[in-house]
Amino acid sequence: MNQSSLPLLAIIGRPNVGKSTLFNRLVGKKLALVDDQPGVTRDRRYADGAIADMKFRLIDTAGMEEAAPTALATRMFDQTKAAMEEADILLFVIDAREGVLPIDEHFAKLVRSANKPVILIANKAESSRANAAGDIYSLGFNPIVLLSAEHGEGMGDLYEALEESFSANGFALPEAAPARAKRKKKVELTEEGDIDLGPVLDRSKPINLVILGRPNAGKSTLVNALLGEDRMLVGPEAGITRDTISIPFDYHGTKFQLHDTAGMRKRANVQEKLEKLAVNDSIRALTYAEVVVMLIDATAPLERQDATLASLIEREGRACVLGLNKWDLIPVPQRKAMLEEIEYMLRKQLSQLAGITVAPVSALKKSGLDALVNACLTAREVWDSRVPTAELNRWLETTLAHHSPPLVRGRRLKIKYMTQVKTRPPTFHLFCNMADEFPGAYLRYLTAGLREAFGMEGTPIRLILKESSNPFEKHKRRINK
């Protein structure tokens, strides 16, 4: 049932009538993938929508099709029926250009049997309003709204229809929230003289957790296991998930915003436009993540594509946990040796995420879930690590005494001091001479030392070299003038 105080609207209809386009229009951003081919949407997607000052919750659903009981289309249809049962109001969408087809009449009977308020929407009506009207009335629904979701035409008519339906069914129209004034962030120092890195993580807000991995690694099955329900469409077919689906859930008192993503293959293998859109949607979800579970198949661990995904996670600076799915398929006597082999391969292939936690799970058997979630919480804490400047420079002094920077063109590279300027991920400024000359190997040595000394395993670390200014530089400029 709908847990929000806002009315929940389910957008339903046969494939390719523009349901996702209407969803994006009402949400105000391109959340759902849109393409000319039918059947793009498979899982149901939730988001807040609005028309002017009228606010509501929306569900985008798969196109209604009937097929064999074991077919993918049937499982998609089950997702749509679940959305219909949950919704307060149904937005039944048809194509105004094509008029009412026999399949529309068939599913109109299903809509009536739901015993929910219905608004019939004739989409793609920008050039066919007069021709479509008589045909549409034959379905017997009222009210009827003709609009163009792509061009934004007819939104006023939809507003009036929703206003009437809200009033008839006891839903209030919430007032628009006042706009917040933007405040310019100021750089401040703490009492100890450290740079103020801003507020600590707000533990009351849900944790943005993204499940990422290759196709058929079991991402959607893992989401269903965490939720305890068949929320996501799953099956033996690879690449079932296309849109990135965001789902709020509570796991033993900890709030999460869970994001299930499409499987990501090698770029050379991604040829179809729709798959490219799905991959881009997964990458977009990664940019908003706090923690990423990189899920791999235990029966085919750590392929080259996994190293590519790890590089992407490191580049975005996200906390990461390696989920080893289908662990139930590995014979018990072989598990210890496999974990040792994976840890060895991690050091060789995924050095950018050194110390990452490996969490064996079986999404199908629902085992190992507590350990996985706890690893995610720990990774998030490390991601927010803060090191006082005094403690940091004591470590630096010891490290430089043990292994000083090399000579470059006869001159000694020097690091004067360092300070942490940012968290999420931990970011440090190193003040030095000849910043452009520092070799990458020495910076990797410092990064490894920071991980070991301050417990920053498994999170990206940023080292930014800052060259100290020459106090005589301004006088040189004057002489040159």
For 62-113, the pLDDT digits (tens) are 766 655 444 555 566 777 788 888 899 999 999 888 888 888 888 888 889 8
pLDDT of residue 190: 56
Pairwise CA distance, residues 17 & 260, whole Å? 25
Tally of CA atoms within 13 A in the half-sphere of 64 that contains its CB: 23
Is the pLDDT at 277 greater than 80, yes or no? no
Average pLDDT rounded to a whole number, residues 121-147: 76
Q: Which CATH class is domain 207-383?
A: alpha beta
pLDDT of residue 342: 85
pLDDT of residue 265: 59
pTM above threshold 0.85? no
pLDDT of residue 35: 46
Least confident of 69-73, 357-361, 422-426: 69-73
**Average pLDDT along the chain:** 79
**Residue 227 amino acid letter:** L
Average pLDDT rounded to a whole number, residues 41-51: 77
Domain residue spans of the chain: 8-168, 207-383, 389-467
Average pLDDT rounded to a whole number, residues 106-135: 78
Residue predicted with more confidence, 1 or 58? 58
pLDDT-derived band of residue 379, with 50, 70 and 90 as boundaries? very high
Which among 381, 352, 346, 401 has a CA at the least distance from the CA of 454? Answer: 381
Do 8-168 and 207-383 share a fold?
yes
According to CATH, the superfamily of the domain at 389-467 is K homology (KH) domain (3.30.300.20)
Pairwise CA distance, residues 260 & 209, whole Å? 9
pLDDT-derived band of residue 29, with 50, 70 and 90 as boundaries? confident
For 384-415, the pLDDT digits (tens) are 989 999 999 999 999 999 999 888 888 888 89
pLDDT of residue 282: 73
Least confident of 66-70, 118-122, 214-218: 66-70
Is the pLDDT at 475 greater than 70, yes or no? no
CATH code reported for the domain at 8-168: 3.40.50.300
Least confident of 50-64, 135-149, 341-355: 341-355
Average pLDDT rounded to a whole number, residues 349-364: 84
Distance of CA 162 to CAs 26, 112, 166, 264, 349, Å?
A: 12, 18, 6, 39, 55
pLDDT of residue 481: 46
For 220-266, the pLDDT digits (tens) are 889 888 888 876 655 455 445 556 677 888 888 889 988 888 767 55
Give per-residue burial for 108-125: e unless 16+ CB within 10 Å, then b: bebbeebeebbbbbbbbb
Give per-residue burial for 226-259: e unless 16+ CB within 10 Å, then b: bbeeebbbbeeeeebbbbbbbbebebeeeebbbb
